[in-house]
Structures are given as C-alpha cells and as structure tokens.
Structure 1
Amino acid sequence: MVLNNIEKLLEKYDNGETTLKEEHILKNYFTGDDVAPHLEMYKPMFAYFLANQQEQFTKDVPLKTKRILNYKWISVAAVVLLMLGFYFGKSLNNNDLGTYDDPQLAFNDFSKSMELISQKLNRGTSTVGYLNEVNKGTATLGYLNEIENTTNIIFKN
C-alpha cells in the first residue's frame, strides 16, 4: 500500500501537482534504505535535492552601490571636447568646395578618378571568376534530377 502511495506521489510530482508535505514524504522515502528496486533511479535526484537544501550562501550582499564621480577626469574630457570643437569648427568654415574654373581640367581629373575606380572594381571582379566554375557544377546537378526521375519510373512500375 505504501508503494502504491509513493508511485501516485511520483506521478503527481512529475506533473508538478504535489504539495510541500507530499514532497517531504517523497524526500524521506528516497533518502531511506528501503527503496523499491524499480524506483532506484529517483534516489540520486532526491538525494541531490536534500543536499542542495543544506547549502547556504555565506557572502555578504551589498545593498547600496557606491557612485564616485571622478571630477578630475570629467573636466579633462570637457577640455578635450572644447579643443576638438574649436579645431573642427575652424576647418569646417573652409569654403573651398573643389570646383574648377577650367572645364578641361575638371574633365581630366574626373576621368582620372573614374579610371582609378574602374581599376579597383576590375580587381575585385577578377577574384570572383571562380563562380563560373560553380555555375558549371550546378548545371551538371540537373542531370541527377533526370536520373532520379527515371529511377522513380522504373521502381514504381
């Protein structure tokens, strides 16, 4: 009768429906010596729970955090920001937009820059040439579909 009660409590425990008193009964049963052989697999689990119940946290938990502002470093950061603001403020007021008065000179500079961009792009596309080989390989995979279709026809009939 006790074994049936333990099995029912285990089923309730697995479903998460036990009370604390029922769990205490299960812990006492599985930490004892007279555990049924087919329930031996639960013994280490309840022994672990009992051992964990004995553990205690011994370190102090700080409840207040200390916030110490180092005003020296804040003032240094403010001075650096002001210096950067003055430096970049003066350089942004430069009204030279890179315009050309001579159209031929502008065209020559434009064609030089386009040639440089073209060289860089061509260098990048030359390294992608292996993708053509990948495309050839995937094209041959189409033959595998034909083989699969014919084997399906043969084996279905």
Structure 2
Amino acid sequence: MVLNNIEDLLEKYENGETTLKEEQQLKHYFSQETLEPHLEMYKPMFTYFLGNQQEQFTKDLPLKTTRTFNYKWISVAAVAVLMLGFYLKEPIVASYEEYAYGTFNKPEKALDEVTKSLAMISSHFNKGTSTVNYLSEVKKGTATLDYLNEIENTTSIIFKN
C-alpha cells in the first residue's frame, strides 16, 4: 500500500500537482536506506533537495538607501539668482538701451563692435580652412597622375605603329 502511495505521489510530483506536505512525504521516503529497485533513480534528487533545504545564506547584504533630493538648495539657488538679477539690473538695462535701435551714439564704439565681429568671423573661417589644407596635397597627387597619363599616351602611340 505504501509503495502504491509513493508511486502515485511521484506521478503527481512529475506533473507538478503535489502539495508541500506530499513533497515532504516523498523526501522522507527517499531518505531511507532501503528502497524499491525501480525507485532508486529518484533517491539522489530527493536527497539533494533535503540537503539543499538545510543550506542558509550567511553573508550580509548591504541595502542601498535611496537618495532624497534636498529641496532647500533649490530655494537657496533661486534666492541667489534673484539677488544677482536685482544687483545687475541697472547695467543690463543701460546696455540694452544702447543697442535698442541698432545704432551707436559714438562711432568709435560702433567701429570696435564691427572689428570684434569681423575678428570672430575670421577666426572661425580660419579654423574651417585649416581643416581643408589636405586638398592641396591631393592636387599635387593628381598632377603626378597627369604625368602618368602622358606616358600612357606616348606608349600607345609607339605600340600602334
């Protein structure tokens, strides 16, 4: 009777239909020394499960805490920006009025602004042209190839006759 019960439990176990109590019965049965010969093949599996059930993890796992965002610093930064804006308000407004109509009251100042703008454009243009300098080397190489083309023309004239 016990053997039929164990075989039924094994069939349920293989189908994934056993309860924990039934699995404990199977583990207890296969922990015995003497087993039926046709059930010997299940013994290593269930003894492994028994041994594995006794294992415990003993290392400490450090748990990371989530960082909380400190909103106080946002208010401090906002106050600093506002104070800086109030402090620098006058010079900004004065310089804006100077450029409001696109003209300058003093021609010397206008000349300085134009020279600054042209110097900036010139520096950017020079950076762009410096990266294209290798094209002159390519031109020299193609000139050399033109000499080879002339040699080919002369050899074709020689061998045609």
TM-score by length of 1: 0.45
TM-score by length of 2: 0.44
Considering only CA atoms, is the larger Rg found in Structure 1 or Structure 2? 2
